[in-house]
Every structure is written in structure tokens, then in C-alpha cells.
Structure 1
Amino acid sequence: MRIPILKLKQYLLVTIQWELDDQTAMQFQEDILKRIHETEAKGIVIDLTSVDIIDSYIAKVIGDVVSMSNLMGAKVVLTGIQPAVAITLIDLGIHLDDVPTALDLEKGLEKLQQELGE
């Protein structure tokens, strides 16, 4: 199953609608990097509202997606992080201190525009 990646102006919007397995996470990583390259996106909002649990591998993939996107010139904002996911990320030692976050997709877009100075 592939995670849909929508383009809105110079941004990419991703809403993860189900729990990720390892294969889907890797496919998502490849797909998002390809879309950044194709669209020259300046920013990405990844909405995790529907993700209730996360394991160490999926957390690492999300962290890697953020780092790789930044290397390609696209700023990432994470939205909708559930309490259990936040706890798990910290317990796993994964700190996304430099990654802007927001409560929902709308606030995430606003935060992305602020981060990009628009």
C-alpha cells in the first residue's frame, strides 16, 4: 500500500491514514524523496493524526525522511502526533528537537509558511 502524497502549490501534504509496516515505510521514504525531486517542493507537512502506535524502525524511518528532505531543501513539519507516539519517540531516544510540529494539518501549513518566511 502506498501513502498518498499531494502537492499544494510549492508544498507536499502527506496524511498517514494507517499504521505503517516496514515495507510501507520504506516505500514512503522512496516516494517522498522522488516527489521532492520532481516537484522541487519547498516544504512538506506530514500528518500523523491516525498513527496511534509507532515502533523503533518506523520512528527511525520518519526521522530519516525529515533529515533527507532537509538535505534536498524541503522543510518538514510534523502534525497530529498522538500522546502515545510522543512518549514512544522519547522512550526510544529519538528526539526531533529541530523538527517543527503542530497540532493539526491547518496549523502545520501555517507553521511551514512561518518556517519558510512566507
Structure 2
Amino acid sequence: MNDGPRLFSILRQGPYLIASVHTALDDSQLVRFQNDLVERIGSDRARGVVIDVAALDVLDSFASRTLRDMAEMARLRGAVTVIVGIQPDVAFAMVQLGMDTGRVVTALDLEEGLAELDRGARDPTAQRP
């Protein structure tokens, strides 16, 4: 499961982690991404995470559930999560198929995602349901 190149990156930006998915991930790669991100939250003592999915033109039910799970794991480790970059066609398909991101905050792009984290870091109760 941990063999092969990473198709995602996790970079630190101050108190935040920016996790970018570069191409579609299969289920085992999604689990690797999840494990790596949750581990980095602890090792970097991150207060927030932006997950950028702008490169994805498809988001299936397993990927949607995994993103929600990642956000919940991050919350349990003390970090707020914002998902950014959901493409219009992906958003349309998700709504048509009854899929969503649950209570995870979303934003249009990285800039808005970081601003959302800044708001959440100042007032942790400001997270939207």
C-alpha cells in the first residue's frame, strides 16, 4: 500500500497544512493520503488543514466519505479542515447522486480556504454546521 509515487502533497504553511491531490486516487492511495495527513497533523502540530481537490474531475462515494473521515480525524486531533477546489461538474454530480461533504467546510479556492481557517482559528465556534 505504501509503494509507488505519491499522487498528493502535504505542505506546511505556518500553523496550517495544505494537502493537494494531483490526480485521481484509487482507494488504497486515498487511504495512504488519509494516513499521511493524519500523521502530519500531529507531527507538525497543525491547527488547520486545507484539502485541495481542484485536480479531480470525479469524486466517487468512497472518496467523499474518505474526505469527511479525514476532516473528522483532523478535528479529533485539534485541526479544522476546509476542502477547496471542488469543480462545478463534480459539485453538480455530487448533488445529483445525493453525496455531500457532511459538516466539512468548503471554499472556492486555496485563498478562501486559508481565510476560512483564519476565521476558525480566531473563533473555533465559528465553524459552520
Same fold, judged at TM 0.5 (above): yes
Structure 2 stretches lacking a partner, 5+ long: 124-129
Identity of aligned residues (%): 38
**How far did residue 97 of structure 1 move?**
4.6
Residue by residue over 1:35-77, the C-alpha shift from the partner in whole angstroms, topping out at 9 and shown as x without a partner, is 0110110000111111110111111111110111111110001
> Which residue of 25, 35, 39 corresponds with 1:34?
39
Q: Is 1:18–2:23 an aligned residue pair?
A: yes
Q: Is 1:55–2:42 an aligned residue pair?
A: no
Residue by residue over 1:63-112, the C-alpha shift from the partner in whole angstroms, topping out at 9 and shown as x without a partner, is 11011111111000111111222233334443335222211111111111
CA distance in structure 2 between the partners assigned to 1:89 and 1:75 by the alignment = 23
CA distance in structure 1 between the partners assigned to 2:68 and 2:94 by the alignment = 10
Equivalent runs, 1:92-111 vs 2, <5 Å: 92-111=97-116
> Which residue of 2, 6, 13 corresponds with 2:11?
6
CA distance in structure 2 between the partners assigned to 1:9 and 1:28 by the alignment = 21
Give the root-mean-square deviation of aligned CA atoms: 1.6
CA distance in structure 1 between the partners assigned to 2:66 and 2:103 by the alignment = 16
Q: With a CA cutoff of 8 Å and minimum separation of 6, indicate the structure with the bigger relative contact order.
A: 1
Number of residue pairs aligned between Structure 1 and Structure 2? 118
CA distance in structure 2 between the partners assigned to 1:66 and 1:94 by the alignment = 16
TM-score, normalization: structure 2? 0.83
Equivalent residue, structure 2, for 1:73? 78
Equivalent residue, structure 1, for 2:127? none
Report which of the two structures shows the higher radius of gyration computed on alpha carbons: 2
TM-score, normalization: structure 1? 0.90
* Secondary structure at 1:116 match in 2: helix
Structure 1 stretches lacking a partner, 5+ long: none
Equivalent residue, structure 1, for 2:48? 43
